[in-house]
């Protein structure tokens, strides 16, 4: 699909009120007009308060928000749309505090909305796998500076980082938290994020030897510490950018939500060439994401 570029003024014009947002949602769900799933009737009453369409033929009620992140929320769609606009416009992300002030929402509501948007980002990226020439390395996020550093540090979370190399640029990236690095976990994360039979460069850690058994072309020659930035350049750039991102707007994040923030980072990074279309792209991602409840976010 073709994504639109939307300036603030264009966005405001396109979505001036609740009705316009509802209309846009309706168009996404039924691009060629409403058709009742029960009786195939094509006319329906609008039930705006409950965000429903009611078939004039058989009375069947079709939800406008089913299959979107707005499902079962009481927040007006207009505020949702603006939240997506704000989240898409700032490269560094938007904090729940700022969103709650700008959209006149309770902090808890703003927090949950941003997390739902993050889930939509993660779901969107989970549809893609990396291919070609790939760098892969484990990194350590969070915790304080004290204690053991690097592999084996207890207060940090291990994150597997994978980056595509496209000529002299980085392509797509993926990041996945894991308990620790083992052959079994490397195999799982690789299956999830990398196409079969690719070219993968890692350091000499034994756990990576599973990559060859999986059918990848694996270069796992040991890398002396000082050369890591030359041998695995994109992975290291991605790691330092991600750490800066987490510290910037969010002032560091807890282990529990680290994966969600990493998903946000990767989503933004992977679309860095389409900045102008970010709002439209994120809107599409949110409209096509499985809903999550507040309880599920807190679990
Ligand atoms: Zn019907």
Query: pLDDT tens, 225-256?
Result: 888 889 999 999 999 999 999 998 888 888 89
Buried b (16+ CB within 10 A) or exposed e, 230-255: ebbebbbbbbeebbebbeebbeebee
What is the CA(171)–ligand 1 centre distance, in A? 47
3-class DSSP state of 45: strand
* Residue 51: DSSP 8-state: T
What is the CA(47)–ligand 1 centre distance, in A? 15
Question: How high is the mean pLDDT of the chain?
Answer: 92
Burial zone of 299 (CB within 10 Å; 0-12 exposed, 13-18 middle, 19+ buried): exposed
Half-sphere exposure of 133 (CA within 13 A, CB side): 10
* Residue 49: DSSP 8-state: G
What is the CA(44)–ligand 1 centre distance, in A? 8
Residues with CB under 5 A from ligand 1 (ion): 36, 38-39, 41, 55, 57-58, 60
What is the CA(52)–ligand 1 centre distance, in A? 13
What is the CA(292)–ligand 1 centre distance, in A? 28
The class of domain 133-277 in CATH terms is alpha beta
Model pLDDT, residue 145: 53
Model pLDDT, residue 142: 84
What is the CA(59)–ligand 1 centre distance, in A? 6
Please report the beta strands in the chain, taking only residues with DSSP state E, as ranges in sequence order: 44-47, 52-55, 61-63, 133-141, 157-166, 169-178, 199-201, 217-219
Average pLDDT over residues 271-278: 91
Model pLDDT, residue 7: 87
Residues 6+ apart with CB under 8 A from 41: 35, 55, 56, 57, 58
Is the model's pLDDT at 220 over the cut of 60?
Answer: yes
Whether pTM exceeds 0.95: no
Residues 6+ apart with CB under 8 A from 235: 135, 136, 137, 139, 161, 162, 163
Spatial separation of the C-alpha atoms in residues 153 and 143, rounded to whole Å: 9
Spatial separation of the C-alpha atoms in residues 101 and 79, rounded to whole Å: 12
Average pLDDT over residues 177-186: 95
What is the CA(48)–ligand 1 centre distance, in A? 18
Domain with CATH 3.30.420.10 in the chain: 133-277
Residues 6+ apart with CB under 8 A from 16: none
What is the CA(25)–ligand 1 centre distance, in A? 20
What is the CA(35)–ligand 1 centre distance, in A? 8
What is the CA(26)–ligand 1 centre distance, in A? 16
pLDDT tens by residue, 70-86: 998 899 999 999 999 99
What is the CA(287)–ligand 1 centre distance, in A? 24
Residues 6+ apart with CB under 8 A from 197: 215, 216, 217
What is the CA(53)–ligand 1 centre distance, in A? 10
Model pLDDT, residue 225: 82
pLDDT tens by residue, 32-89: 999 999 999 999 999 998 899 999 999 999 999 988 999 988 999 999 999 999 999 9
β-strands 199-201, 217-219 pairing: parallel
Model pLDDT, residue 170: 94
Express as a percent the part of the chain with pLDDT over 70: 96
Is the model's pLDDT at 211 over the cut of 60?
Answer: yes
Residues 6+ apart with CB under 8 A from 295: none
Decide which of 175 and 290 is more confident.
175
Q: Taking a C-beta distance cutoff of 8 angstroms, is the pair 114, 87 a contact?
A: yes
Compute φ and ψ for 227, nearest 5 degrees. -95, 0
* Residue 153: DSSP 8-state: -
DSSP-assigned states of every residue in 178-193: ESS--HHHHHHHHHHH
């Amino acid at each position: 699909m073709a994504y639109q570029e939307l300036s603030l003024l264009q966005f405001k014009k396109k979505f001036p009120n609740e009705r316009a947002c509802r209309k846009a949602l309706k168009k996404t769900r039924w691009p060629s007009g409403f058709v009742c799933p029960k009786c195939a009737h094509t006319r329906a009453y609008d039930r705006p308060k409950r965000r429903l369409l009611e078939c004039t033929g058989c009375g069947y009620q079709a939800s406008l928000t089913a299959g979107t992140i707005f499902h079962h929320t009481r927040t007006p769609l207009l505020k949702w749309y603006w939240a997506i606009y704000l989240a898409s416009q700032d490269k560094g992300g938007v904090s729940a505090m700022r969103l709650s002030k700008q959209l006149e929402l309770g902090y808890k509501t703003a927090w949950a909305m941003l997390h739902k948007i993050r889930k939509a980002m993660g779901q969107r990226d989970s549809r893609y796998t990396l291919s070609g020439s790939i760098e892969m390395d484990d990194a350590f996020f969070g915790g304080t500076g004290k204690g053991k550093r690097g592999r084996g540090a207890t207060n940090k979370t291990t994150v597997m980082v994978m980056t595509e190399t496209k000529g002299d640029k980085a392509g797509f990236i993926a990041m996945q938290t894991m308990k620790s690095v083992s052959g079994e976990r490397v195999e799982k994360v690789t299956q999830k994020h990398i196409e079969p039979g690719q070219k993968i460069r890692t350091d000499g850690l034994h756990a990576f030897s599973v990559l060859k058994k999986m059918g990848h072309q694996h270069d796992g020659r040991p890398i002396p510490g000082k050369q890591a930035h030359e041998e695995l350049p994109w992975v290291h750039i991605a790691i330092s950018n991600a750490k800066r991102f987490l510290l910037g707007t969010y002032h560091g994040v807890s282990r529990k939500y680290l994966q969600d923030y990493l998903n946000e980072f990767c989503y933004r990074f992977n679309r860095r060439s389409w900045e102008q279309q970010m709002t439209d792209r994120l809107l599409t991602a949110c409209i096509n994401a499985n809903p999550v409840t507040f309880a599920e976010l807190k679990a």
